[in-house]
Each structure stands twice: as C-alpha cells, then as structure tokens.
Structure 1
Amino acid sequence: MQAFTRLDAKSAPLPLANIDTDQIIPKQFLKTVDRAGLAKGLFYDLRFDRQGREKPDFVLNQPAYKGAGVLIAGDNFGCGSSREHAPWALMDFGIKAVISTSFADIFYNNCFQNGLLPVVLKAEQVAQLMDEARGGNHVVSVDLETQTVTSPSGQVFAFEIDPQRKAKMLQGLDAIGETLTSAASIDTYETKRALSQPWLERA
C-alpha cells in the first residue's frame, strides 16, 4: 500500500447524498480480484449511457475535472453492501481522497485498508469546497500529517482521524503490512514454541 502524506490535486464535486457501493462499482465488475482495470467501472451508470457513451454532464467526464484526485461527495458516501472493490475502483481511477460530511462505516474502514483517505468535514466546509470546485481553480491540498484541507481560495479546514489509522496511512501499512513489522518477534516466538512444544510441529 502506498503511503499517504500530502495530496495536491484537482477536486471534483459530486453533490449527491447516499451514493452506495453499487453506484461506485456496479456488480458486473466484481468478477475480478485484480485491482487494476476497475476504473472502467467506476460510477458506470452515472458516467455512461446505455450505449456505453460518456454522459457529458457527469462531472468526471468533463474536461475541467479530468485527472481529479479528490472527490467532494454528498452525505453518507459509500453506503450499501460491503465491497472492497469500491475503494479499489476509486484509486484505480486516480482518486486518492474523498471528502464528505459522513461515510458508511464499512466503506470508511475499507478505505484505510487500501490507502484511500476518507476525510470528514463540517457541512458548511464541504459546501464551500463544492462551490470552489465548480470554479476555475479547483486544486485542493489534503495534508494528512497536519490533518488539514486547504481550499482553492486558501481557507484551511481541520479534520479528525484516529491516530493509529493516521500512523498506518503515513507509513503505507495495511493490516498485513502492520503484522509484518513484527516479523522478527513472530519468528522468535515460533522458534521458542517449536523447542518447548515440538509436538505442535508434527503433521
């Protein structure tokens, strides 16, 4: 997992509440466990018409927002069924942070396990970021170390995050990576156990 420290990127406004995981990545794209290539299914029904053509009015199809790295979303983002493909698809598309007033719990947890930063801000702050993202300058800065979001106009908004999750994001550690930091201690324990309880090693 890549470490997240600071992101300076275009922001794209998606002022829709209750975007669920099936809207983020529809079920037909869940046949793979490969994270690469899922960008094609991101917001598929919102991005494309029935003939597979891009809908020009959808924000991520508009030239001004091509290459956006931050999504400014409505309330309760990521609700619905649990699917780790949702943060995978967002990251494969190039989105590294999502800012909202609230996230569904499972999606929120999945984000941290995959290096996607979910940022919770107050409603008025999200509304301002939405408004500024619609303007000509829509580059925002998301700084995990200082726990701040800087708007295009230079206003700074602070956000809260669990210290342990913050530390793992800064180091690029998922659950497996965190376990591997204790590899030496695990090896020592396994060696001692094999000597003191050799019957446990028998097939």
Structure 2
Amino acid sequence: MSVQPMYPGRSQGFVLVTALIFLALILLLGLAASRGSQMLNAVAANERAASMAESGANAALRRAEKRLFDFYKVANGRALVGDTTASLGVYSAEAAAANPSFAAFITPQRWSVTGATKVPGSEVDFTGADATARLAQQPVYMIEDLGPARPSGAGSARESGATGGANYFGSSGMSGGNATLRVYRITAKSTGPNGQLVKTLQSVYAGHAGS
C-alpha cells in the first residue's frame, strides 16, 4: 500500500522554489566571474596603454638627444644656444619659463603640441596601420638650453665634481675643465593608443661645445 503525501502541491512547490534559488545563485556567481574578468581585462589594457605611451615618450627623448648629438658631432667648438623662438629647435631657459605654450606642454597628463617638435613619421610611424601597436599621436618633445655646466668664473662645485678631478669627462686632465659642457633639459610626451592617457618624461643631456 502506497502512502500519498498530505499536500502534494506544496511539496512540488518547495522543490521548484529551491531549484529557482540555486539557479539564481549560479547566475549571480556567473555574473561576478564575468565582471571580474572584464575588470582584469580593463586593468591589462590600461597597463598596456601606459607601457606603449612610455615607450613613445622614451623614443621622443632619444630622438631629441640624437638631435643634440648630431649638432655637436659637427659643431667644431660651437655651442647650440637656445633662443626665444627655438629657431634651432632649442628654447633658452628664460624663454621657456616665460612661454605659456611651454608651461602647458610640461604639465603632466596634458596633451599639447604647440611649439613642440614631433618625432618624424618617416623615421618611426607611431600612428601607422598596425592597430595593435599604434598610438593616437606621434610623440613630441621640447628642448631647453640650461646654459654651461660650469659658467666661466664659477667656483669648483657643480654636478660633475671638483675642477681638475681625474677620470671624468670635463676634468682638467681630459678636456681643460667643464666650461665647454652645455646642459639641456628635454621634455617628451606621448599618448596611449586611444589618446586618453598621456605620459611625460624628462632627461638631461650635456653637449660638449669644445673643439
């Protein structure tokens, strides 16, 4: 003899509610996993964009340093002196300090190209057809002339050491003193792939103006 449940409808309803609860929990877990995956993808994309922007800014620094190197390679003792209009690609420090375009350019996380020099696309095209590696803009740079490393008549204290010290570039035993070294500050900027991220880097370059 079989025993029938007193409330068959309630038993079936309980099973249905339990199944729906488990289905809801599984759905929530799936959504959480999906959101976590999306967040990880976004973090990875941001890190990649930052890395690409930094690589572009580094390329601009190297291009500016090469520009200075190429000048001094054939300078025959002439110094590359900056001016107010950067007629030779270099601003004087005083002109840069008073130039609103330069002030805007060196502001971190701000994209500005007024008065700056672009890395030639003929050398490296950062905005080319490769959609997986291109940047939104060509990297750019500005160069400031900070003047001689040790101005004429100055004392011995300076960045590169005491006058006459041995075994460093500019010592009296190697080049007759540091008065022939001229210092430049380079500021380079690059965007990421979508233009929303901007990386700013700086370097200091010393050019030997002696013969």
TM-score normalised by structure 2 residue count: 0.21
| CA radius of gyration, larger in | 2
TM value normalised by structure 1: 0.21
